[in-house]
Amino acid sequence: MYLTRKWLEKLIDLTDIKNEQITVALNSLGFEVDSFKDYSLLNDNLKIAHVGNVAPIEGTHLNFCFVDKGQDLVSPIVCGASNVKEGQYVVLAEAGKKIANGMKLENREIKGKMSEGMLCALTEIGLDSKALSVKEKDWIYPIVTKEDTYSMIGNETALEEIGFLDAVWEVDLTLNRSDALGALQFVKELANYFNKDINDLTKHYEFKTNDLSSPVSIKISKDMDNIVRSAALQLVSVKDILTIGEKEYKIYSNQDIWLKFNDCKTTHNFWLDLANAIAIETGQPVIFLDPSKLNSQLEIKDNKDKDHNVNLQLICDEQVVSTLGVETNIDFLPTVDSKEILVVYLSLDPIFMRKQQKQFNTSTIDLQRYMKPISSKLYTVAQNRVMYWLDQYNIYESNSNIEIIKESNEKQIQVNVKLEYIHKLMGVNLSTKEIEELFKTLDFEITENGDELIFKPDPFRTDIAHGADIVEEVTRIYGYDNVKSIPPKILSDSKSKKLDLRLQKQNENYLLGLGFTNIKTYSLLSTEMVEKWNLFEINNPINLMSPLSKLRETFRLSLSRSIIETASFNYSKGNKNVKLYEYADIYNMDNLRQRHLSVLISGDVINQKGYDITIKSSYAYLKGICDSILNSYNIDLSQVSFEINEKAPNDIHPFINAKIDLNGLTLGFIYKLNPKFEQSQKLDSTFILELNITAVQDVKNSVIRAQEISKFQKTTRDVSIILTEKDKYSQVIKEIISDVDYLTKVELIDIYQDAKLKEINSKSVSVSFEFNNVENQLTDQEVQLQWDKVLNNLSKLKIEVR
């Protein structure tokens, strides 16, 4: 957002206020000044001149001009601009004058013609070319003034007349202060800061109301009802002016330069430029139409096509009047022959308009305001500025009452705040009177009710909703620098036992001990990616209103995709063997907050070349880590099941993956990436574990009882069994130890597969069983009795024992 001193001076008396003070004021009020430029110091005084005869110089793009600069004789000047023509009023730099580009002018001969000075383009006097249209970059600047320009010929006031002797601030706006996209909000802030009155010119104008009504309305269908926040129409009668010459509407140079200072390129159309000016001043986009060109009622529709998934348009009789925020069809704009002007005020859903902006990949004055959460009642301000500017151009005759097609549903906010609460948060004791004086010109209504203050904020401020916002506003206006810094009082207190935090720290130390690296990843992904990797099937994700990129627009619902991106990035940098983990929270719009843990291994988990030891990443290695983490929460692993996740996305291996369940509750997922996806991400064999730590904490066994250690000799029995690919190891173990006594430990000790077993898709699994008793030494007969139960259970399952 940009501010210019000349524009501010029309509304605030800045006589005794320097530019540096305004910069300090803006920064103090929370509006960070990104840049400042004083254009009044760039050039010497330049003249207003009038172009007479223009003759092309043969064989060149140059023109030989005779220019009237208010002296008895005209001056010859060679000009290369494509738009120079007879009758123009121009900015003339005579010999001896110094201009912004560092050039000191002198009389010189060009192509055999003497040139006594230069007709100036805007870039030559110091304006950045980015503010110019393509046409203007090859133009000299033609002067258009409200007063009689002919009488000014020869005056060294050219830069003053076109509004160039100005100072410009570029101000960074945060999303919560989107209301300041209407520059009039800055006027309130600065007038309040400098204790000045606001000279609102529109308050001194007597607007003439007529009995006319709009010949058309705006149809808003049900599917558009949530997109259109408010809609209003107003009809303006055009003043009938008799002129001798050709009638033409042109933007005055001082307003044109002001638009350029606001980084708004000219559209080369009076009505579009005027609409941009009003939108910058008020924050309300405006559409000017000729009602005589509208054959049926207007309608707002989302006309999707093959190029645009979102295409919000204003339609009349199947013709596009305006692609909202993008462009307006010039065929429907008023002309010099228009008797009436229809003014359309629309407020649209910011999230939807952000999509419109992405589809058209453009940024216009209107789109910048449609996309931000500004008030939907700004038409009440905009109508005054519309009539004021139409009157300045001698167009305004009278206006109809504004017709509300759809009323804004915004309500006047009322916030009750105790004075004590303000004192507590600010650390400064302000009286009610002192607080009221802080809001002199900010359109806040403040009333006192006992020990409570009732605030009715500026109706165009959408960022104030509760007491903390009021305290922040009071502190901002009071001045952050005026609040003394006081060191906090730190009182010793007994520490509460936070078991979940201790267990998390314990597991972090465990992972760090295994050589894992703790990472922190970005919480935002694309909407498509969030939906694809929603492993835990969480609904209602959080979408940003104004994301900076389509790749970062939605809060993630799992950590998996983020940790994969990190591994892929490391691989691209030559770090191919990675072991990563991350603890982070998952949120949604239903106030859900879950703590998740993601663990990733890729490449070699151990690679000791000196000892010739290499261990590749594997499902078994990661499964062991999962078991250890669940064990730390005292969860009975025999009750935990690992089932194939049938809903896994295509990027996950269809067979090497499992959903981790405990009594029907999903605790997490463990899986290998699909080889094709690994290849696309340039990863070696990669395995990932993601646990819902919040769910794990909810089912943990917090009651831990000390178990007596047996002082007697333990006895072990080993068995090797043949398991097919259909057999599930955990389920088999669970069934074969059913009703077996004195069993203290079951341990997998070996997995073997030879060529013969491979042919039948089977493996030999060796398991060790440990028996003991805390009361007495078990005899061989007692152990054998229990061992026979194990073998009998294996027999029932028809599992071959080797």
Beta bridge pairs of residue 36: 169
In the block, tokens 């989302």 appear at 302
Q: Is 574 exposed, middle or buried (0-12, 13-18, 19+ CB in 10 A)?
A: exposed
The rounded distance, in Å, linking the Cα atoms of 755 and 94 is 98
Distance of CA 577 to the CA centre of its chain: 35
Q: Is 88 exposed, middle or buried (0-12, 13-18, 19+ CB in 10 A)?
A: buried
Dihedral of alpha carbons 236, 239, 243, 249, sign: negative
Distances, alpha carbon 221 to alpha carbons 216, 231, 649, 791, in Å: 16, 13, 38, 74
Return the half-sphere exposure (C-beta side, CA atoms, 13 A cut-off) of residue 189: 25
The rounded distance, in Å, linking the Cα atoms of 402 and 256 is 28
Four-point Cα dihedral 49, 53, 57, 60, nearest 10: 50
Q: Is 473 annotated as a binding residue?
A: yes
Q: CA angle, corner 63, sides to 61 and 64, nearest 5?
A: 150
Q: Which amino acid is at 65?
A: C
Are 201 and 10 spatial neighbours (Cβ–Cβ below 8 Å)? yes
Q: Is 469 annotated as a binding residue?
A: yes
The rounded distance, in Å, linking the Cα atoms of 473 and 475 is 5
Are 446 and 458 spatial neighbours (Cβ–Cβ below 8 Å)? no
Distances, alpha carbon 225 to alpha carbons 303, 310, 348, 377, 544, in Å: 15, 16, 10, 16, 21
Sheet containing 452-456: give its strands across: 415-418, 452-456, 445-449
Structure tokens at 111: 């192509």
Sheet containing 2-4: give its strands across: 2-4, 167-172, 32-38
Are 113 and 151 spatial neighbours (Cβ–Cβ below 8 Å)? no
The rounded distance, in Å, linking the Cα atoms of 554 and 310 is 18
The rounded distance, in Å, linking the Cα atoms of 299 and 97 is 56
The rounded distance, in Å, linking the Cα atoms of 594 and 588 is 9
Give phi and psi for 369, each to the nearest 5: -90, -35
3-state secondary structure of 129: helix
Dihedral of alpha carbons 744, 750, 751, 752, sign: negative
Structure tokens at 375: 């008030």
Are 341 and 236 spatial neighbours (Cβ–Cβ below 8 Å)? yes
Give the residue among 304, 368, 378 at the shortest CA–CA distance from 347. Answer: 378
- Answer left, alpha or beta for residue 684, where phi above 0 means left and psi between -120 and 50 means alpha: beta
The rounded distance, in Å, linking the Cα atoms of 130 and 389 is 26
Give the residue among 360, 4, 406 at the shortest CA–CA distance from 220. Answer: 406
List, in sequence order, every beta strand (DSSP E) within 611-705. Answer: 613-616, 640-643, 652-662, 665-673, 686-692
Q: Which amino acid is at 463?
A: D
Give the residue among 398, 397, 136, 390 at the shortest CA–CA distance from 249. Answer: 390
The rounded distance, in Å, linking the Cα atoms of 178 and 354 is 14
Are 235 and 291 spatial neighbours (Cβ–Cβ below 8 Å)? yes
Q: How many residues does the chain have?
A: 802
The rounded distance, in Å, linking the Cα atoms of 797 and 728 is 12
- Binding residues for Mg(2+) are 463, 469, 472-473
- Binding residues are 463, 469, 472-473
